[in-house]
């Protein structure tokens, strides 16, 4: 037959033999040809060839115990320094455990199959195969209780503002201890990358804030500000002629929080928008259980979270994030020049005013 099906125009599977000199980029581009390896290749190419364009604003959602495994310092800080991550929604736990490194406390490699009763007796806490002293928790708790006693914390604020202020203290402690780029929180302060927590009470940081409230501390988290500020970041990116991209590490509440920005803009505020332009997720969650963590970008289209015209650009890779994130980081840094940091933290008020004015003009909120 002379006329081949249009479905047979893909690259021929004929990878080179892997040798000791192969680069990471060539390994992924040339030998990741099928199954989740192919989805990972597509993820890397989507990230570097489309999402990292200068006019794209990139939000990251972060769930699962990524920072205890060292991925804050190994992957996320390098991505931020390269200008590849513009804003973040994280679990509080990732921020809390990140702080250990920034204030000079240790996490150790361990084993997942030891007797936990013995570990408890020896004051060893574990996150699967990460071990650390129970005292690490106590010292980190003390650090947070001390800083939130400072005058600048005695008010209601968004979680982005809280993390920015806390990051200043972590950064200073790191400098005193001569620690360079150990803390995501400290680096985000320096680069003005806003970090939000979708469930601020659901972590040891929130527990310590609650404990201090019993003692008269005035710090409160403004979750309404978090919802509106994140929506304003996305709205500002789109209405300035740019695009919005979402990099989803895991699932859970942070995934929903970065995606709900579009329904907040369209459904609630009634503003003309179509959804995020780029959707890239690493997950091990199944689709058929109905949970948000496994929900596909196609399903997200029905909620207005993802632009239906951009659905072919969406990639979901079913791969452990602790494998995917370091590889994606190395690939992106090798393939793409750095971008100028957008420093969105300093632009929060400006972006919020712009979205509010549009909603007032539309009549969905009062002037």
Catalytic residues: 305
- Residues 304/259, Cβ–Cβ less than 8 Å: no
Q: Determine the Cα–Cα distance for residues 89 and 219; give it in Å rounded to an integer.
A: 20
* Contact residues for 108 (Cβ-Cβ < 8 A; gap 6+): 130, 131, 132
Q: Read off the tokens for 176.
A: 């005193």
SS3 sequence of the chain: CCCCCHHHCCCCCCCCCCCCCCCHHHHHHHHCCCHHHHHHHHHHHHHHHHHCCCCEEEEEEECCCCHHHCHHHHHHHHHHHCCCCCEEEECHHHHHHHHHHHCCCCCEECCCCCCHHHHHHCCEEEECCEEEEHHHHHHHHHHHHHHCCCHHHCCEECHHHHHHHHHHHHHHHHHHCCCCCCCHHHHHHHHCCCEEECCCCCCHHHHHHHHHHHCCCCCEECHHHHHHHHHHHHHHHHHCCCEEEEEEECCHHHHHHHHCHHHHHHHHCCCCCCCECEEEEEECCCCCCCCHHHCCHHHHHHCCCECHHHHHHCEEEECCHHHHHHHHHHHHHHHCCCCCCCCHHHHHHHHHHHHHHHHHHHCCCCC
Q: What's the CA dihedral at 28, 33, 35, 39 to 10 degrees? A: 50
- What is the residue whose two structure tokens read 């029905």? 302
């Amino acid at each position: 037959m002379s006329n081949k099906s249009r479905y047979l125009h893909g690259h021929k599977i004929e990878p080179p033999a892997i040798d000791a000199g192969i680069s990471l980029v060539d390994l992924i581009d040339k030998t990741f040809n099928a199954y989740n390896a192919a989805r990972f290749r597509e993820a890397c190419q989507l990230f570097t060839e489309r999402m990292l364009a200068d006019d794209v604003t990139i939000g990251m959602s972060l769930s699962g115990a990524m920072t205890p495994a060292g991925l804050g310092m190994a992957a996320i800080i390098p991505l931020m320094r390269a200008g590849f991550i513009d804003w973040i929604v994280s679990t509080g736990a990732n921020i809390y455990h990140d702080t250990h490194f920034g204030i000079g406390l240790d996490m150790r490699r361990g084993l997942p199959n030891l007797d936990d009763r013995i570990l408890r007796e020896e004051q060893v806490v574990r996150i699967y195969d990460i071990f650390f002293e129970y005292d690490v928790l106590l010292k980190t708790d003390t650090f947070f209780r001390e800083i939130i006693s400072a005058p600048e914390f005695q008010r209601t604020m968004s979680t982005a503002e809280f993390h920015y202020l806390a990051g200043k203290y972590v950064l200073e402690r790191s400098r005193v201890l001569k620690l360079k780029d150990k803390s995501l929180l400290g680096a985000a302060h320096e680069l003005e990358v806003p970090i939000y927590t979708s469930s601020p009470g659901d972590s040891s940081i929130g527990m310590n804030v609650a404990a201090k409230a019993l003692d008269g501390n005035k710090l409160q988290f403004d979750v309404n500000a978090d919802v509106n500020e994140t929506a304003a970041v996305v709205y500002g990116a789109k209405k300035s002629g740019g695009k919005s991209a979402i990099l989803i590490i895991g699932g859970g509440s942070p995934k929903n929080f970065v995606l709900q920005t579009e329904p907040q803009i369209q459904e609630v505020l009634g503003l003309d928008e179509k959804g995020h332009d780029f959707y890239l997720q690493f997950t091990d969650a199944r689709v058929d259980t109905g949970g948000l963590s496994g929900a596909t970008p196609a399903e997200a289209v029905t909620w207005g979270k993802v632009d239906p015209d951009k659905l072919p650009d969406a990639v979901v890779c079913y791969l452990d994030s602790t494998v995917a994130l370091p590889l994606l980081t190395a690939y992106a840094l090798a393939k793409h020049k750095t971008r100028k940091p957008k420093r969105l933290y300093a632009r929060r008020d400006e972006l919020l005013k712009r979205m509010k004015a549009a909603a007032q003009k539309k009549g969905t909120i009062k002037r």
